[in-house]
Amino acid sequence: MRPLRTPMAYLLSTLMKACSVRRSGYMSMRWHSTATWHGPLAISDQLVQQKSTFQAYATRYQAEADAPATFSRLMKITAMPQLLAHIQEVDPRTRRASHAMYAWRLRSSSLISSSLVLGSSNGGEAGAGERLERLLELSNCEDVVLVVFRWYGGVKLGSDRWRCISTVAKEALKRGGFLSGSREASDRARSRNGSRKRGK
């Protein structure tokens, strides 16, 4: 027999579900620290197009001092699985996404040189990884990882899917302060969020 839920438990459960559906404004930059990832996630709003849903996550990542080839391999087998597991822990709904496409643009430094390393995965959406790479490059983003989820709704979108992917990706980057001109707004948001926490 399942235990009866108290009114308070039901209320808390309902509020948690409501708060996890959409994130907007400065509350989209949150410090979700878990065993798999430490650092803030900038989260876009959901974009729905003909029953398909898109949502993006952006975060800062500091590269280790490795050769570019070695570093890219380590990103795919270590850092990205950790980040995806972290996002799934923060938002379990992402486990059911049809596609998880991602890209990174990171500065890898050694004793003798420094270079920007790009990498990506299509996540089953052909060409998506390379498009996210180009977005990071054109936006001059450094030390940033970008993940876009798509929940396929049964209707093929054709080229419209690229617009949807780009829209949510840019929104996550802007909210994280990774785009030029958006960092100041993000810093103000983080400051407000921090002062609210200190006031409690």
Q: Which of 6-10, 124-128, 133-137 has the lowest mean pLDDT?
A: 6-10
CATH number at residue 90: 3.30.230.30
What is this structure's pTM?
0.72
What six digits make up the tokens of 53?
Answer: 């849903």
Q: Is residue 7 part of a domain?
A: no
Q: At what angle do helices 160-175 and 128-138 cross, to 10 degrees?
A: 40
- Domain holding 113, by residue range, is 45-199
Q: Is residue 8 part of a domain?
A: no
Look at residue 25 and tell me if it is in a domain: no
- Which has more confidence, 64 or 157? 157
Task: Specify if 14 maps to a domain.
Answer: no
Structure-token match 């974009």, residue found: 47
Domain count, the chain: 1
| Assigned domain for 173 exists | yes
Higher pLDDT, 199 or 76: 76
Q: Residue 63: inside a domain, yes or no? A: yes
Residue 197 pLDDT exceeds 80: no
For residue 142, being part of any structural domain is answered with yes
Rg (CA), the chain: 18
Using CA atoms, how far apart are residues 41 and 59, in angstroms rounded to an integer? 5
Per-residue model confidence as pLDDT tens digits over 41-96:
999 999 999 999 999 999 999 766 555 667 778 888 888 999 999 999 999 999 99
Q: How many CB atoms lie within 10 A of CB 198?
A: 7
Q: Is residue 29 domain-resident?
A: no
Tokens of 169: 């990706």
Beta strands per DSSP E along 6-111 = 29-31, 40-43, 47-49, 52-60, 99-109
Read off the pLDDT of each residue in 166-187 and give the average, rounded to a whole number: 80
Please give the Cα distance from 97 to 169 (Å, whole number).
Answer: 16
Residue type, 164: C
- CA 82-92-60 angle, to 5 degrees, is 40
pLDDT of residue 38: 73
